[in-house]
Amino acid sequence: MAGEIDALGWPLWITYVAVFALTLMVGARLAVAVVQVAIATRRRRAHHRMVVDLVGKSHKSGLRILDVDEPLAYCLPGVRSRVVVSEGTLTTLADNEIAAILSHERAHLRARHDLVLEMFTAVHAAFPRFVRSASALDAVRLLIEMLADDAAVRAAGPTPLARALVACATGRTPAGALAAGGPTTVTRVRRLGGRGNSLGVAACAYVAAAAVLVVPTVAVVLPWLTELNRLFTA
């Protein structure tokens, strides 16, 4: 260690140690947040799944139907997943609208969007209040809903889905569930009524997203690797 200090100098060595300690602290805080969010989310889902199985009617298509007049539709992800709708949904919506809303919920389950949201929720919880932003987490929620919307559009078309989303917009969603309606409904319905992005725009977006991830990572990691190589070869 004395040789490393002599090679780097005290100021640079202390800086490296401080950065390493900060990295360990952030990693430990993130690991704790991941475990806490995972346990709390699964506990809420398990409790609500039990309630739904007790009070809801089972349908041959695998649905759980609640005796509620208000239109609502949501899914409970996990190993024992559930798609839950209300009697109001089945009586208010047309057949193609029901197909659209069910495709939306099953897309959530098939792609395991809950795991993506869970990780971002853990990252959000791991950072101090004065650093984290609720806008970032809300954006992830919106993007996840848009991905499920895209799957439903491919199955039933944009118009039936838009009508179904409006009908279920005010439905209450239990904690831990992924619902078709909610506060992002207006934004998503406007998107369904607009013109889709071209392949060129989509390709540019993917390239830009990859660059946002790769460039900062290389900029941070490369100097560290260069310095480590210099220390070991000295």
The per-residue DSSP string of 126-176 comes to HS-TTT--HHHHHHHHHHHHHHHHHHHHHHH-HHHHHHHHHHTTT----TT
In the prediction, which pLDDT does 213 show? Answer: 66
How many CA atoms does the CB half-sphere of 139 hold within 13 Å?
A: 5
* Res. 221 pLDDT band, cuts 50 70 90: low
Output the pTM of the full model: 0.77
Burial 11-34 (b: 16+ CB within 10 A, else e): eeeeeeeeeeeeeeeeeeebeebb
Ordered DSSP codes for 31-46: HHHHHHHHHHHHHHHH
Q: What is the pLDDT of residue 151?
A: 93
* Tens digits of residue pLDDT in 43-92: 999 999 999 999 988 877 779 999 999 999 999 998 889 999 999 999 99
User: pLDDT for 154-207, tens place per residue?
Assistant: 999 999 999 999 999 888 888 889 988 888 899 999 988 876 555 666 677 667
For the chain, which residues make up each domain, given as ranges? 2-196, 199-234
Amino acid at 195: R
φ/ψ (deg, to 5) at 68:
-130, 135
Report the DSSP pairing between strands 178-179 and 73-76: antiparallel
Give first-to-last CA distance, the chain, whole Å: 14
pLDDT at 21 over 90: no
Task: Give the Cα separation of 85 and 172 in Å (integer).
Answer: 11
Long-range CB contacts (within 8 A, 24+) of 38-41: 38/118, 38/122, 41/114, 41/118, 41/121, 41/176
Integer angstrom CA distances of residue 156 from 91, 99, 102, 226:
18, 7, 10, 54
The DSSP code for 181 is: -
The residues near 197 (Cβ < 8 Å, ≥ 6 apart) are 205
Average pLDDT of the chain is: 83
Q: Tell me which of 50-59, 101-110, 206-215, 224-233 is least confident.
A: 224-233
